[in-house]
Structure 1
């Protein structure tokens, strides 16, 4: 069992390094930086136009915007993952290697974690700690919450990418899932019980909000971790199904 786990991590590491090399050699870093710069530029304009805004309010505004960034960028990076592999013909090459679908997904997941960590730590410590002068504990709790939210969004993008060979469909599936989970809670009051309670609990931003206040709630950790694990599991199952159908055809 230990040997199997070591083999899985070794193969996942190989996939991770392959993903990192492909990522650095593509236009994706430029696109990611452009999106982050666009949002951060908007933040700077808002803060500069409101010099009397309180520190606590600045921190909340920052984390609201960062939350959107950590949904948009990781999901955008992930939802092209398997689609690009199929269009470039590298998916068939991966199928010929002694790499399982779980190891393939795990390696891509590690790549997602790296990009999420870089974005979360970079923008939080620059804006929240340096500019807003927030406490280190608030910044650390916020970074942790952003990483959880970004990881969930990345896993949704991976799942959408595993379903289709179309960039457009991958984008639509990702957007639909994120919209339901992140915006659906705002409409919970329109529904009867118990649907109201379920939709309220599934409101992702409500789960993230305590992190922005310097609190690390167990419910929020479980919520985002469970969603990430669910979509990783579904991604593996979709890949296994596609591989099996391909071998049968």
Structure 2
């Protein structure tokens, strides 16, 4: 099992770093971070608390974009190239396919969260004297959001016929979870509590303020597992349909 997962993982790594995707995602993320944070938001009159929140809200935007781009063709392109049918006829299970692709996504997410984004928290620490625990918690939040986004993207890729449809499916899921909390006040107390719990922004904002909220950690991890499970089920149904 682990050998198959490792094989799929390294296949994804070779494709990513052997094509335009690596410079597009990593370089584009660095550029957008610079644009959002250094040019638009950093100024001498800002204190570290405000700057930290702005910085990690910028990271929130760029990690969403990066992981959607990485995931949108993960399964769709396998179908278009005919390699998905090859995987179906090989001794590789659907769970191994999803696990290998997810580990690759986790690697890219880690690179973006720690290495690409790492320069900006250093600015927070050295120039704005932001406590290291805030820098660390914000980075954890970005990483967890990236994992969650990639799992949603994998699910969208398993449903879509091409990369654009996969991207639209994933964006619709994320937008629904993004705005649902803003309209939760329209419902009764119980429904409002449930809808607000599904609100991505409310879970992320705590990390940018130096908090590691357990319910938010559980939300992102359980949501990641849930969408990976749905992806496996979609592949299983596709396998049985031939």
User: Do both share a fold (TM > 0.5)?
Assistant: yes
Partner of 1:53: 46
| Number of residue pairs aligned between Structure 1 and Structure 2 | 238
Q: How far off its partner does 1:131 sit?
A: 4.3
Distance in 2 (CA, whole Å) between partners of 1:45 and 1:148 is 26
Query: Quick check: 1:44 aligned with 2:38?
Result: yes
Distance in 2 (CA, whole Å) between partners of 1:103 and 1:141 is 31
Partner of 1:94: 87
User: Helix, strand or coil: the match of 1:219?
Assistant: helix
User: Helix, strand or coil: the match of 2:211?
Assistant: coil
2:202 pairs with one of 190, 206, 221: 206
Distance in 2 (CA, whole Å) between partners of 1:212 and 1:97 is 44
Query: Quick check: 1:120 aligned with 2:113?
Result: yes
Question: Structure 1: which 5+ runs fail to align?
Answer: 1-7
Distance in 2 (CA, whole Å) between partners of 1:34 and 1:193 is 45
Question: Structure 2: which 5+ runs fail to align?
Answer: none
1:2-41 alignment, distance < 5 Å: 8-36=1-29, 37-41=31-35
Distance in 1 (CA, whole Å) between partners of 2:74 and 2:161 is 10
- Per-residue deviation, residues 209-244 of structure 1 (Å, max 9, x unmatched): 121122111101110011000000000000000011
**TM-score normalized by the length of structure 2:** 0.93
4+ long deviations beyond 6 Å: none
Distance in 2 (CA, whole Å) between partners of 1:182 and 1:122 is 27
Distance in 2 (CA, whole Å) between partners of 1:20 and 1:14 is 10
Q: How far off its partner does 1:185 sit?
A: 1.0
Q: Which moved more, 1:96-105 or 1:126-135?
A: 126-135
Q: Any conservation in 2 of the 1:129–1:136 contact (CA below 8 Å)? A: no
- Per-residue deviation, residues 50-71 of structure 1 (Å, max 9, x unmatched): 3211111111100111011122
User: Helix, strand or coil: the match of 2:75?
Assistant: helix
- Per-residue deviation, residues 98-120 of structure 1 (Å, max 9, x unmatched): 11000000000000000000100
Distance in 1 (CA, whole Å) between partners of 2:73 and 2:87 is 17
**TM-score normalized by the length of structure 1:** 0.90
